[in-house]
Structure 1
Amino acid sequence: MSTPPPSRVESPRHVRILVAWLLVGCALVASTLILGGVTRLTGSGLSMVDWEPVSGIVPPLSAEGWEREFAAYRDSPEYRLVNRGMSLSEFKRIFWFEYAHRLLGRVIGLVFIVPFAIFLWRRIIPRALIPRLLLIFALGGAQGLLGWWMVQSGLVDIPRVSPYRLTAHLALAVLVYALTLWTALSLLRPEAGASEPAPEPASGAGIRLGRWAAAVLALASLTLLSGGFVAGLDAGLVHNTFPKMGSDWIPPDLFAASPWWLNLFENRTTVQFDHRVLACLLLVGVTGLWWACARRAQGTARRWAHVGFAAVWAQAILGVATLLLFVPIPLAALHQANALVLFTALLGLTFELRRSTPRAGGAGQRPGGC
C-alpha cells in the first residue's frame, strides 16, 4: 500500500476542498438552526419522547409502528395537558418536524466525521488545524446531548422545555456555526502579513473599525440569545404593540418577580423588553458600522457591511411585523432565519477587518492558521 503524500498546506486544491467541506457543514448547521426554530414554533419539539441515536434514524414504517410512537406520545404531559384528543394524522404532522430536525443533526455528524477521517489519512488537513476541527466535532456531539437534555425538561410535569436549556441549545449551535465558518474563512482568506498590505488606508483606523465590528458582533450574539428566551417563554405573545408595550414605554410589571434578576430570564414582559432594547441598539450599531465601513473599508469588508446593513433593517421590520401579527409561524421563522444572515454578515465583516489589519511583528499566518 502506497504511503499518502505529505501534507501540503500551500496546495490551492487542498484548500478548496477543505473550504468546500466546511461551508457545506455551515450550510447544514444553519439549516438545523432554522429547522429547530420551525420545530419550536409549530410545537413539534416534544413529539418524540425517546432518544435513540442509532435506531431512531428509521421512522415508523408501518401502521403498528406509528401506533407505538403515538401511544408513547399519549403518555407525555404535552398530550395530556395540551393536545388531548389529537388524531394520528395530526400527530404525524408534528412528528415529522422533530424527526427531520434530529435526522439533520445526525447527517451533520456524518458529513463531518467521514470526510475528516479521509482528509486526515490523506494528510490534507494542516496539522495546526486538527485541534480546532476536533473541538468543533466535540461541540457538535455535545449539541446532540444538550438537545435531548432540553427535550427531557418538557417530558416531566410541565409540557414546555426549559427556556434556559433551549437558549443553551441555541447558543451551542451558534458557536459551532461560528467556529466552522471562521475556520473556512481563515483557509479561504489568510491574514495579511508584512508583504501583503492591508486594504485599509490607515492601520489605526482599521484596528478601531475591527474592534467596533467585534463589539457589534457580540451585541448581535447577545440579541440572538435573548431571542431564545423570547421563544422559550412565548414572550412574543404579550404586549403585541410597537413602539410602546401596551400603553407604556416601560411596563409596570418589568420587575414583578423576586429576586430582581429572575425577571431577566423568567418574566415574559422583561424578556420581551430586553429583546426590544437589544434589537434597537443593534440596529443603531450596525447602521453606524455600515456608514463607517462605506467610508473607510474596501473590497470584501465593504461587501460584508452592505449585507449586514440590509439584514439588520430587514430584521427590524420582520421583528415588528411578527410582534404586531401575534407571531405567525412563516413570519417568525423568517425572522429567525434572517437573524442568522445578520450574524453571518457581522462575523464575516469582523473576520475581514481582522484579517486585513497587519499584525505586529510582520508575517501573517499561513492558510489554516488560528
Structure 2
Amino acid sequence: MVAQDCTLVGGGRPLALARWLLVVAAMVFAMVVIGGITRVTESGLSITEWKPVTGALPPLSEAQWQAEFAAYQNIGEYQQVAGPAGMTLADYKFIYFWEWAHRLLGRLIGLAFALPLLVFWVRGMIPAGYKPRLLALLALGGLQGAFGWLMVRSGLNTEMTNVSHFWLSIHLLTALFTLAGLVWTALDLRALTRSIGPARVTSLGVLVGVMLFVQLLLGAWVAGLRAGLASDTWPLMQGKLVPEADWSQGIVWTFTHDPFWLHFLHRWWAFAVLAVLIVLARRLRPIDRRASVAIHSAVGLQILLGIATVMSGVDLWLAVAHQAVGALLVASVAWGIHAVGQRR
C-alpha cells in the first residue's frame, strides 16, 4: 500500500502539488468573479497606468487621489459617459477600488504560483514530466496580466468609452483556460498517487471543449459590447424569436459586432452546449458521479442565471453570479473530461 504523499511513480510529491494547484485555482476563480464586478461596475478604465510594483498600493493622500482622478478625466469614458453623469471623487474611488483589487489579486496569484513552484523545483518535489506543464501554467499567468493591460489600454483614448471586446474575450478566456489547466493538472497529480498516468482528451472531450469555448467567447463579446442590454425579455427579443440585426456591413461584422445578433447567438447556443454537457454527464455517471452532478448543477444554474440577468436588465449581482458560475462550469467540465479520459 502506498503511503500518502510519499515519493511515488515519477518521483516527487504529487499530492502536495495537487493541493497547491487547487488553491491557486480557487484564487483564479476569485479573480474571475472580481473581474466580473469590475466589468459590470465599469471600473476597468479607472486606473490609467500599469505600475507592476508601486501600483500595488492605492493612493494614500488626497493629492494622489486627485492626480489619479485627473488622469481618468482625460479618457473618453469620463468625457462622454461618467463626466456628463456627474461623477464625483467619491464615485471614482468606488470604481478605482474594484480595478485595484482585481490587479492586486493578479499579483498575489503570481506570487502564490511562482514562489511555491520555485521551492518545489529546488527541493526536487516535482514528479517527472510535470515541469514543462507547470512552466506553461506560469507563462499563462504572465500572459493573462499582459492581456489585461492590453485590454485596458485599448480603451484609454478620447474616442473610446469602453475597452475592446476582442481584448476582453482574450483576457477572460485566458483566465478560464488557466483555471481548467490548473484543475486538470491537479487531477493528474492526484491520479499519480494511485499509479495512474495522465488523462487524455477524448473525442467527446474535444467536442465539449469547442462548444463551450464558443459559448464563452460569445459571452465575453456580449459583455464587452453591453449586448446584454439588447433585450430584457425571454425567450423573445424585440417581440420576435429572431431579432433584427444589422447586416449592412457584412456577415463577419454582424457575427463579431452586432449586439442583437450576438445576444441572440449567446442565449440559444447555450442550449446546444447544454445538450452536449448532458451527454458528457451521463457518460460520467458510472465513472465519477460527483463530476456528473457538478456538471448538471453548474450548467442548469448557469442557464437560469443567464435568463434572470437578461430579464433584470443586467442586474449587477446577477451578472456577476452568471460569470462566477460560468467559471465553476469550466472547472466542472475540465473535471468531467479528465475523468472520461482517465477511464480510457
TM-score of the aligned structures, taking structure 2 as reference length:
0.91
By how many angstroms is 1:138 displaced?
1.2
Cα pair 1:257 1:267 within 8 Å, conserved: no
By how many angstroms is 1:210 displaced?
5.0
* 1:143 has 2:144 as partner: yes
Partner of 2:50: 51
Partner of 1:163: 165
Cα pair 2:47 2:96 within 8 Å, conserved: yes
* 1:73 has 2:72 as partner: yes
Cα pair 2:14 2:192 within 8 Å, conserved: no
* 1:23 has 2:22 as partner: yes
Cα pair 1:136 1:176 within 8 Å, conserved: yes
* 1:177 has 2:169 as partner: no
By how many angstroms is 1:13 displaced?
8.4
By how many angstroms is 1:239 displaced?
2.1
Which has the greater radius of gyration? 1
By how many angstroms is 1:213 displaced?
4.3
Provide structure 1 residue ranges, at least 5 long, that are not aligned to the other structure: 1-6, 197-206, 358-370
By how many angstroms is 1:261 displaced?
1.3
Q: Which of 180-189 and 66-75 deviates more?
A: 66-75
Runs of 4+ in 1 over 6 A off after TM superposition: none
By how many angstroms is 1:8 displaced?
4.1
Cα pair 1:37 1:336 within 8 Å, conserved: yes
By how many angstroms is 1:284 displaced?
2.1
Partner of 1:4: none
Match of 1:344 among 325, 328, 331: 331
Partner of 2:236: 244
Partner of 2:3: none
Q: Which of 171-180 and 42-51 deviates more?
A: 171-180
SS of match in other structure, 2:25: helix
SS of match in other structure, 2:130: helix
* 1:285 has 2:276 as partner: yes
Change (3 A) 1:110 1:26: same
Identity of aligned residues (%): 36
Match of 1:222 among 214, 224, 242: 214
Change (3 A) 1:250 1:188: same
TM-score of the aligned structures, taking structure 1 as reference length:
0.85
Give the 5 Å matches for 1:178-217: 178-190=180-192, 211-217=203-209
Deviation sequence 1:8-40 (CA, Å, 0-9, x none): 444998222111111111111111111111100
Q: Amino acid of the residue matched to residue 75 of structure 1?
A: N
By how many angstroms is 1:217 displaced?
3.2
Partner of 1:310: 297
* 1:35 has 2:34 as partner: yes
Q: Amino acid of the residue matched to residue 230 of structure 2?
A: V
Aligned length: 333
CA distance in 2, matches of 1:222, 1:180: 21
Q: Amino acid of the residue matched to residue 169 of structure 2?
A: T
Q: Amino acid of the residue matched to residue 29 of structure 2?
A: A
By how many angstroms is 1:94 displaced?
0.3
CA distance in 2, matches of 1:263, 1:251: 12
SS of match in other structure, 1:258: coil
CA distance in 2, matches of 1:220, 1:305: 16
By how many angstroms is 1:278 displaced?
1.3
Cα pair 1:191 1:356 within 8 Å, conserved: no
CA distance in 1, matches of 2:280, 2:22: 26
CA distance in 2, matches of 1:267, 1:109: 36
CA distance in 1, matches of 2:125, 2:194: 23
Q: Which of 227-236 and 241-250 deviates more?
A: 241-250
CA distance in 2, matches of 1:57, 1:355: 42
Q: Report the aligned-residue RMSD.
A: 2.2
Q: Which of 84-93 and 212-221 deviates more?
A: 212-221
CA distance in 2, matches of 1:38, 1:189: 36
Q: Amino acid of the residue matched to residue 234 of structure 2?
A: F
By how many angstroms is 1:109 displaced?
0.7
Cα pair 1:192 1:355 within 8 Å, conserved: no
SS of match in other structure, 1:52: coil
Give the 5 Å matches for 1:112-151: 112-151=113-152
Q: Amino acid of the residue matched to residue 239 of structure 1?
A: S
Partner of 2:343: 356
* 1:259 has 2:258 as partner: no
Cα pair 1:190 1:355 within 8 Å, conserved: no
Cα pair 1:245 1:251 within 8 Å, conserved: yes
Provide structure 2 residue ranges, at least 5 long, that are not aligned to the other structure: 1-5
Cα pair 1:192 1:356 within 8 Å, conserved: no
By how many angstroms is 1:302 displaced?
2.0
